[in-house]
Each structure stands twice: as structure tokens, then as C-alpha cells.
């Protein structure tokens, strides 16, 4: 079987399932079955693509047989297939997490039965962003996932969610407008938006115009990735959504922005890494993000700030412009998608049991040992405690930075170590206050673990188990990331697309 024919399936299958679940709007149980089954199939297909890309190189499909490179190209190289695999695993587990209260109509009549159709469109947009072989298709992908996220973030239409969603919408519209402006400039100057054709044509432009295009694209994707100073929207937007929605947003959406930055830096401007600028941004993102986390008294906001902070680690690997740095960034992206999603899912359990996510109102949750373990394991992983994958990923990035003999690289190492220590302090503070502080004798809001739906426990336990398994799989994953970085730096992506061109 030609694996190229499988490349569009992770996009098409969720879109078809979205239509089916929309028809089943009055049957939420069947919606959940269709969504879960669809995303599980996508995960299997993504694994096949990942194995195929590793064995034979980038898998390319041109949608349309027009000459001269006209048409839509989808590319599953090692990096994009790995991202589709990890994202499909996360979405397949999270989609079974919402309770009936999340997907049934709310008391004020706001329609939220569109959760599953919208969630499936979101997953299709994420997959298409990873597989897109040109800037315009990537723009369409971003619009797909952003339109879906507008609906999901305001699910239930409560005042708090509408207020936070409005900020998210405004920022996203600004980002999309800048993206369109960048597309116009790129196409006007080069006559193409293909990732395979752009490197040669961009190199022929005036250096000042090249720099303008590069900076404009970095700003667009920096907003989506929530890097400093473009991150202020995230802590106010994510915490208000339902736990399942926040988990996917935190785990995936910012990583799509990071992925796009990798494409820009490695495919379009390989000779212009802007190392100093990106290193400064990485340092500020790490340090200011974690300082914001330490100032929070609400768990979702605290984790939202740690999310911003740890984007800085990924940006550090990209900024170095080396194979070792890129490999470390790829490993850390996989680690952070899984760990951050698991933590937000567990916070959803904490909110269900404790009635709040405010540290001032929580306490005594250590009476539920399973919940305590489910929080502690990914928390320690995020904090970089050995032998977890968070520690291994940070060590790989630090080693790559130390191979670059510059003061900024050394400063980034210091910032990375400091951020890791402060992250550990932040998550342990949550552990101490939510699980061990006294709630008072007359407070009966801490219930038995039996109040948690079994499907919630299964989803959270599976995600946490995968984060722990990353330690055992660190060797194969590191080797895969090394091969992905090597392919990117030797131009395998462009060569494969050109060979498959009609």
C-alpha cells in the first residue's frame, strides 16, 4: 500500500466524524463513542505514518495533479508524523473525559451539544497544520483550529468564559491578520508559498526584505506559541474553559505555534537563525513565565504560567540552530504536550472533588491517594526531577546550549536551571496546600473517590502512565528526534517534495 494515500486521513477522518456527531447532537453517549473511536483510529494511522517516515523518509502527497507545483501538498516527515501521533493520542484520551454536565445544555439554555463536532474539527486543524506543505495551507489550518477553539473556550456561554473568550478572539484575529499580511508579502515577492520552493526564492531577495518576512512570521507564530512578550492573553483565556478543553489547549495549541517556528527557522531561513534575538526571547519567556506562576493562588492560572515558561525551553533549542538543539526541542515538545495535558486533566479531577481550584479553598485531598499520585507524578516530571522525561529533556537542551560558546547561551542555561527549580517550587506548593493543608472540621466538600466517574479516572491514569513511560522510552524517542533533526538540516524535506511534484 502506498503510504502517501494515508497522509490526508488524519485530517479527513475527524472532519467526517464531526458531521456524524453533529447529526447525533441529541445522543451525547453516541457522540462520545464516535469521537473516541475516530481519534483512536487516527492514532493508529499516525503511528503507521511515523514508522513509514522513519523507514523511508518524508511521505509526500500532492492533492491535485496540476503542473509546476500548483496544488496542495501534504508532507509527513519524521517531525510532522511524530506530532500527529502525539496529538492524536492526547485527543483520543481527552475526548472521553467530559462529563454529561460539560456536553449537555446548560441551565441558561446555551447550546453546548456541539462539543464533539467542534472538538473533531479542532483535531483536524491541528493535524493539517502539522502536515501542511505550504504557508497558505498552514494558514487555513490555523483558522480551522482557531474557529473551533472560539466555540470550545466559550462553551456554556457563562459570563466568565465569554469575557475570557473575547480576549482570545481579539488576539487571534490580530494574529490571523498579520499572517495574511505575511502571506501577501511572501507570495508577492516570490510567487510561491511552498515550503520546498521558498528557501531558494527567499534567498534571492533583498536581505532587508528577507528579515522583514522572517520577523513578521515569527511574530505571528510567537503569538500562537505564547512567547514573551506576546503571551499575556494565555493565562486569562485558558483557565476559564472546561477541564477537558483547557487540557487540549494547553497541551497542543501552543505547540502548533512552536512547530510553525521550527518550519520557518529550519526550512525558510536556515542561513538566518536570529540566534541572539531568539535566545533573549527564550530566556525572558522562561524566567518571567515562572515568576508569574509563583504569584498565582489558583491552580489553572499557575499551570498556565508554567505553560508559558516552558515554551522558552523549546525556543531555546530552536534558537541554537544546531542539530542537537533541534533534537532537544523536539523531545521536549513531546514531553510537554503529554505532561501539561495530564496535569490539566488531573486539575479537573481536583476541581470535581474539592469544588474549586483556588489554593485558598482547597485542602485535605491527600485523603484520596489515587488523586494524590495522579497529580504528583506529572508535577515532578514538569519540575525536572530525575529520572523523569522532564529532566532528560532539560539536560539535552542544556548540553546543546553548552556546545555553543556564547554568553547568551550560557545565560540561557542558567535561566533554564533556575526555571526548573522555580517550577518545582510552584508545583510542590500546590501539592502541599491542596493535598495536605487542613480544610477544617466542618468542611465536607472533600468526597470519596467514588464521586469521580470511572472514565475520568481511566483517562487521567492513562495520560499519567504515558508521561511516566516516557522515561523508559527516552532512548528510542531521543534517537528518533536526532534523526528528525538530521533530516531537517540536510534538506530531506525539500528534496522529497520536489521529487513528488507533478
List pLDDT tens digits, range 378-434: 999 999 898 898 899 999 999 999 888 788 889 999 999 999 999 999 999 988 888
**From CA 457, how far away is CA 412, in angstroms rounded?**
38
Buried b (16+ CB within 10 A) or exposed e, 150-188: bbbbbbbeeeebeebbeebbebbeebbebbeebbeebee
| CB atoms inside a 10 Å sphere around CB 215 | 14
Q: What is the mean pLDDT of residues 117-137?
A: 90
Coil, helix or strand at residue 333: helix
Higher pLDDT, 456 or 128: 128
What does the pLDDT read at residue 62? 82
C-alpha cell at 443: 468542611
What does the pLDDT read at residue 124? 93
pLDDT classification of 455: cutoffs 50, 70, 90: confident
pLDDT classification of 451: cutoffs 50, 70, 90: low
Q: What is the mean pLDDT of residues 217-240?
A: 82
pLDDT classification of 351: cutoffs 50, 70, 90: confident
Residues 162-175 pLDDT 10s: 666 677 788 888 88
Cis peptide before 387 (omega within 30 of 0): yes
**From CA 85, how far away is CA 50, in angstroms rounded?**
7
Q: Are 376 and 429 in contact (CB under 8 A)?
A: no
What does the pLDDT read at residue 106? 42
- Look at residue 78 and tell me whether its pLDDT is greater than 80: yes
What does the pLDDT read at residue 66? 65
Give the DSSP per-residue string, 120-164.
HHHHHHHHHHHHB-BHHHHHHHHHHHHHHHHHHHTTT--HHHHHH
Q: Are 236 and 164 in contact (CB under 8 A)?
A: yes
| pTM to 2 decimal places | 0.90
Residues 12-30 pLDDT 10s: 999 999 999 888 888 877 8
> Of 109-118, 202-211, 398-407, which range is least confident?
109-118
61: alpha, beta or left? (left if phi > 0; alpha if psi -120 to 50): beta
Which percentage of the chain shows pLDDT scores above 90? Answer: 31
Q: Are 327 and 485 in contact (CB under 8 A)?
A: yes
Q: Are 120 and 38 in contact (CB under 8 A)?
A: yes
Q: Are 272 and 222 in contact (CB under 8 A)?
A: no
Q: What is the mean pLDDT of residues 327-342?
A: 92
State which H helix or E strand residue 62 sits in: strand 59-63
- Look at residue 69 and tell me whether its pLDDT is greater than 70: no
What does the pLDDT read at residue 338? 92
pLDDT classification of 491: cutoffs 50, 70, 90: confident
- Look at residue 1 and tell me whether its pLDDT is greater than 90: no
Residues 269-289 pLDDT 10s: 887 778 888 999 999 999 999
pLDDT classification of 81: cutoffs 50, 70, 90: very high
What does the pLDDT read at residue 10? 92
Higher pLDDT, 25 or 75: 75
C-alpha cell at 275: 540566534
**From CA 412, how far away is CA 279, in angstroms rounded?**
7
Residues 231-280 pLDDT 10s: 777 777 776 777 778 888 888 888 999 999 999 888 888 877 788 889 99
What does the pLDDT read at residue 100? 47
pLDDT classification of 449: cutoffs 50, 70, 90: very low
Mean pLDDT of the chain: 84
What does the pLDDT read at residue 195? 85
Amino acid at each position: 500500500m502506498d503510504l502517501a494515500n494515508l497522509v490526508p486521513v488524519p485530517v479527513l477522518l475527524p472532519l467526517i466524524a464531526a458531521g456524524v456527531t453533529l447529526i447525533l447532537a441529541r445522543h451525547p453517549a453516541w457522540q462520545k463513542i464516535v469521537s473516541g473511536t475516530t481519534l483512536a483510529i487516527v492514532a493508529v494511522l499516525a503511528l503507521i505514518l511515523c514508522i513509514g517516515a522513519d523507514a523511508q523518509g518524508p511521505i509526500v502527497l500532492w492533492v491535485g495533479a496540476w503542473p509546476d507545483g500548483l496544488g496542495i501538498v501534504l508532507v509527513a516527515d519524521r517531525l510532522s508524523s511524530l506530532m500527529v501521533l502525539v496529538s492524536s493520542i492526547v485527543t483520543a484520551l481527552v475526548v472521553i473525559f467530559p462529563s454529561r454536565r460539560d456536553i449537555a445544555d446548560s441551565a441558561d439554555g446555551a447550546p453546548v451539544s456541539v462539543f464533539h463536532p467542534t472538538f473533531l474539527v479542532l483535531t483536524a486543524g491541528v493535524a493539517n497544520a502539522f502536515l501542511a506543505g505550504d504557508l497558505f495551507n498552514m494558514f487555513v489550518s490555523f483558522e480551522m483550529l482557531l474557529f473551533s477553539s472560539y466555540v470550545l473556550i466559550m462553551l456554556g456561554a457563562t459570563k466568565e468564559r465569554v469575557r475570557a473568550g473575547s480576549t482570545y478572539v481579539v488576539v487571534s484575529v490580530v494574529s490571523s491578520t498579520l499572517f495574511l499580511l505575511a502571506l501577501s508579502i511572501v507570495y508577492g515577492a516570490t510567487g510561491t508559498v511552498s515550503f520546498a520552493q521558498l528557501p531558494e526564492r527567499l534567498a534571492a531577495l533583498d536581505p532587508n526584505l528577507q528579515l522583514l518576512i522572517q520577523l513578521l512570521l515569527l511574530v505571528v507564530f510567537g503569538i500562537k506559541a505564547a512567547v514573551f512578550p506576546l503571551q499575556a492573553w494565555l493565562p486569562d483565556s485558558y483557565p476559564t474553559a472546561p477541564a477537558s478543553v483547557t487540557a487540549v489547549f494547553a497541551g497542543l495549541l501552543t505547540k502548533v505555534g512552536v512547530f510553525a517556528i521550527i518550519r520557518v527557522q529550519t526550512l525558510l531561513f536556515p542561513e538566518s537563525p536570529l540566534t541572539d534575538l531568539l535566545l533573549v526571547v527564550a530566556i525572558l519567556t522562561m524566567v518571567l513565565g515562572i515568576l508569574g506562576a509563583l504569584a498565582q493562588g489558583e491552580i489553572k492560572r499557575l499551570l498556565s504560567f508554567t505553560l508559558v515558561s516552558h515554551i522558552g525551553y523549546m525556543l531555546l533549542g530552536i534558537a541554537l540552530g544546531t542539530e542537537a538543539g533541534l533534537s532537544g526541542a523536539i523531545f521536549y515538545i513531546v514531553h510537554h504536550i503529554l505532561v501539561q495535558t495530564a496535569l490539566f486533566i488531573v486539575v479537573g479531577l481536583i476541581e470535581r472533588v474539592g469544588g474549586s481550584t483556588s489554593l485558598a479553598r482547597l485542602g485535605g485531598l491527600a485523603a484520596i491517594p489515587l488523586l494524590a499520585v495522579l497529580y504528583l507524578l506529572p508535577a515532578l516530571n514538569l519540575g525536572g526531577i530525575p529520572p523523569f522525561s522532564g529532566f532528560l529533556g532539560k539536560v539535552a537542551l542544556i548540553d546543546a546550549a553548552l556546545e555553543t560558546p556564547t554568553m547568551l547561551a550560557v545565560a540561557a542555561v542558567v535561566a533554564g536551571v533556575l526555571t526548573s527549580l522555580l517550577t518545582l517550587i510552584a508545583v510542590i506548593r500546590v501539592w502541599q496546600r491542596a493535598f495536605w493543608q487542613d480544610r477544617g472540621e466542618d468542611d465536607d466538600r472533600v468526597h470519596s473517590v467514588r464521586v469521580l466517574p470511572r472514565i475520568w479516572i481511566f483517562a487521567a491514569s492513562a495520560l499519567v502512565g504515558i508521561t511516566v513511560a516516557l522515561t523508559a522510552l527516552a532512548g528510542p524517542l531521543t534517537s528518533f528526534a536526532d534523526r528528525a533533526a538530521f533530516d531537517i538540516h540536510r534538506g530531506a524535506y525539500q528534496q522529497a517534495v520536489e521529487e513528488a511534484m507533478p
